[in-house]
Structure 1
Amino acid sequence: MYDLTGFQRDLLYVAAGLDEPHGLAIKDELEDYYEKEIHHGRLYPNLDTLVEKGLIEKGEADRRTNIYSVTRRGRREIEDRRRWEDQYVEDTL
């Protein structure tokens, strides 16, 4: 996960936290968090990068809607990242 951008990490975390997330649901969650609009030209290429890295899988809900699911590797990467973060911030909270 060290080679992901912060935005890609956020995409992965949101995809992991939603039930059958689709692009617009992920976009809405991140727009709420960032408090600004996220353009499709930023969202979908970054989701495709996560697919290429094997962290999420892309499937079709229908002809117009893709759904994303976090792979086993993606979940393991999230867990590893959380452990790494905890060693630095656990005692400060």
Structure 2
Amino acid sequence: MDDLTAFQRDMLFVIAGHEKPHGLKIKNMLENYYEDEVNHGRLYPNLDDLVDEGLINKGEKDKRTNWYTLSAQGIEVLNHRRNWEDQFVEQHF
């Protein structure tokens, strides 16, 4: 997880929160969070990198649309991140 960008990490969280989201759904969720446009040239290469790293799975919904899910390794990476964050956040709440 330490070699992921914050954008890639946020993509993992978005994918985790939805059942087989497609690229446009992920894009829209990230744009809502960042309050800024996420262009295709940033989104899809990062999705491909996460697939190549084995953190997400990619499937074909139709000829133009792919869906994404977390892999077992992606779930493990997010759980590790959440545990790491919790050690700091829990001290203040």
**TM-score interval (norm. to shorter):** over 0.9
**Other-structure match for 1:54:** 54
- In angstroms, what is the RMSD of aligned CA positions? 0.6
Letter paired with 1:6 = A
1:1-93 equivalences under 5 Å are 1-93=1-93
Letter paired with 1:80 = H
SS in 1 for 2:3: coil
Whole-Å Cα distance in 2 between the matches of residues 30 and 2 of structure 1? 20
Percent of aligned positions that are identical? 59
Please, what TM-score do these two structures have when normalized by structure 2? 0.97
SS in 1 for 2:2: coil
- Give unpaired runs (5+ residues) of structure 2: none
Whole-Å Cα distance in 2 between the matches of residues 49 and 92 of structure 1? 35
Runs of 4+ in 1 over 2 A off after TM superposition: none
Whole-Å Cα distance in 2 between the matches of residues 62 and 25 of structure 1? 15
Please, what TM-score do these two structures have when normalized by structure 1? 0.97
Equivalent residues, number: 93
Whole-Å Cα distance in 2 between the matches of residues 90 and 42 of structure 1? 33
Letter paired with 1:76 = E
Whole-Å Cα distance in 2 between the matches of residues 92 and 41 of structure 1? 39
